[in-house]
């Protein structure tokens, strides 16, 4: 040990103190972060249990109606066949809804398990959107809503425009957007779907003239399980997963979503999806040896 002068000693102490304050600050920051995370977990847990009670209704109710309706069909007298048509229509709409909800739930589970990967192919995007519109046409007709499809892509092969993307994910995104647009529309209005493309991306917007979303709520709607009208008196069904799934799927595809909305005037959701680059399917099965050369650093 060397002898320190008073001044040096003072300086050392001061440095030490400063260092300690720095660590203290860091510890404070970390514990703050920890508290934040815990709080969010708690909130999320509450939402999750709400979701479970919600979802059991979503699944049990349609099943009960499907069972009941099909039972009454079996009991219908032959000359009463006209009754059957309306009951079959009801069965179809219940089953359609159930199918849609279940699909969303399974995809959400897959995303949370980290099993969702892009699956790129050349996709006829016009066709996909038309299929989705077609599948919702019964729901739309029942509500008297007109679905307009503006297809504004001029180039491509004749009428068809092929775009490299993931068709299943695009379908689910479109279904969710259209489902929401219909759900929050007023009777006898319309929904406009517009599709445009520029050099390397595809833009699809879905516009409704329904209830609209206030600016404050526009931030919340992408959160999982969150529904703006999740009271017991809510007229709309759903589990609040649709938009968070949409966002997560867009994440995988490298796209993003925007909202433009005014309360009472309707909302427009626009998704923008970049064209996938030629995907290399993994990498070649042969020639593994090249990956571990002698000069490579191996950990």
Partner 1 sequence: MNQYYQHFLYPSTLFASKEPYMVKTILGSCVAICLWDPVVKAGGINHYMLPNWNGNDLASPKYGNIAIEKLLERLYALGCRKENLQAKIFGGGDLIAADRSAMLIGERNIRVARMILEEKKHSDSSLQYRWPKREENPLFYRYWGGKAQIH
Positions in the binding site for partner 1 (CB under 8 A): 33, 36-37, 39-41, 43-44, 108, 111-118, 222-224, 226, 244-245, 247-248, 251-252, 280, 282-283, 285, 288-289, 291-292, 296-299
231 sits in which H/E element: none
CA atoms within 13 A on the CB side of 157: 6
Of the two residues 19 and 33, which places its CB atom closer to partner 1 in the complex?
Answer: 33
* Tokens 């219909």 sit on residue: 182
We find the least distance from the C-beta atom of residue 247 to partner 1, in angstroms, to be 7
Minimum Å gap between C-beta 210 and partner 1 is: 24
Which H or E run contains 7? helix 6-75
For residue 5, the minimal CB distance to partner 1 (Å) is: 37
Distance between CA atoms of residues 72 and 67, nearest Å: 9
3-class DSSP state for residue 225? coil
Backbone phi, then psi, for 202, in 5-degree steps?
A: -115, 135
Q: How far is the CB of 118 from partner 1 (least distance, A)?
A: 7
End-to-end, the C-alpha distance of the chain in Å comes to 41
- Report the alpha-carbon distance of residue 14 to residue 27 in Å, rounded: 20
Nearer Cβ to partner 1, position 47 or 140? 47
Query: Given the complex with partner 1, which of 126 and 247 has the nearer CB atom?
Result: 247
**Closest CB to partner 1 among residues 199, 293:** 293
Bridge partners of residue 204, in order along the sequence = 195, 271
Give the nearest distance from C-beta 136 to partner 1 in angstroms.
24
Tell me whether residue 133 or residue 252 sits nearer to partner 1 (CB atom). Answer: 252
CB of 164 to partner 1, least distance (A): 16
In the block, residue with structure tokens 């879905």: 206
- Nearest distance, CB of residue 116 and partner 1, angstroms: 7
Among all chains, which residue has been given the structure tokens 């159930």? 98
Neighbour-count burial of 77, counting CB atoms closer than 10 A to its CB (0-12 exposed, 13-18 middle, 19+ buried): exposed
111 vs 197, which CB is nearer to partner 1? 111
CB 262 within 8 A of CB 246: no
Distances (CA, A) of 273 to 39, 169, 252: 34, 11, 10
Nearer CB in complex with partner 1: 158/287: 287
């Amino acid at each position: 040990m060397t002898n320190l002068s008073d001044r040096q000693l003072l300086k050392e102490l001061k440095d030490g103190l400063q260092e300690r304050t720095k660590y203290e600050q860091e510890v404070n920051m970390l514990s703050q972060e920890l508290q934040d995370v815990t709080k969010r977990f708690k909130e999320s847990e509450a939402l999750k249990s709400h979701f479970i009670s919600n979802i059991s209704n979503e699944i049990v109710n349609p099943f009960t109606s499907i069972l009941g309706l099909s039972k009454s069909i079996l009991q219908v007298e032959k000359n009463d066949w006209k009754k059957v048509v309306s009951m079959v229509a009801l069965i179809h709409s219940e089953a359609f809804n159930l199918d849609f909800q279940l699909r969303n739930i399974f995809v959400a589970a897959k995303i949370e398990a980290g099993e969702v990967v892009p699956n790129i192919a050349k996709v006829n995007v016009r066709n996909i959107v038309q299929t989705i519109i077609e599948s919702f046409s019964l729901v739309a007709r029942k509500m008297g809503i007109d679905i307009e499809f503006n297809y504004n892509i001029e180039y491509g092969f004749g009428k068809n425009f092929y775009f490299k993307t993931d068709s299943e994910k695009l379908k689910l995104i479109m279904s969710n957007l259209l489902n929401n647009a219909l759900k929050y529309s007023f009777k006898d209005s319309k929904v406009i779907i517009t599709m445009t493309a520029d050099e390397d991306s595809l833009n699809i917007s879905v516009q409704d003239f329904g209830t609209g979303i206030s600016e404050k709520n526009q931030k919340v709607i992408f959160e999982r399980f969150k529904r703006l009208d999740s009271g017991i008196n809510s007229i709309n069904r759903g589990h609040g997963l649709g938009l968070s799934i949409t966002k997560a799927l867009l994440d995988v595809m490298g796209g993003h979503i925007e909202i433009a909305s005014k309360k009472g005037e309707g909302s427009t959701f626009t998704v923008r999806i970049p064209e996938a680059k030629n995907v290399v399917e993994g990498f070649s099965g042969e020639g593994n040896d090249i990956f571990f050369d002698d000069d490579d650093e191996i950990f």
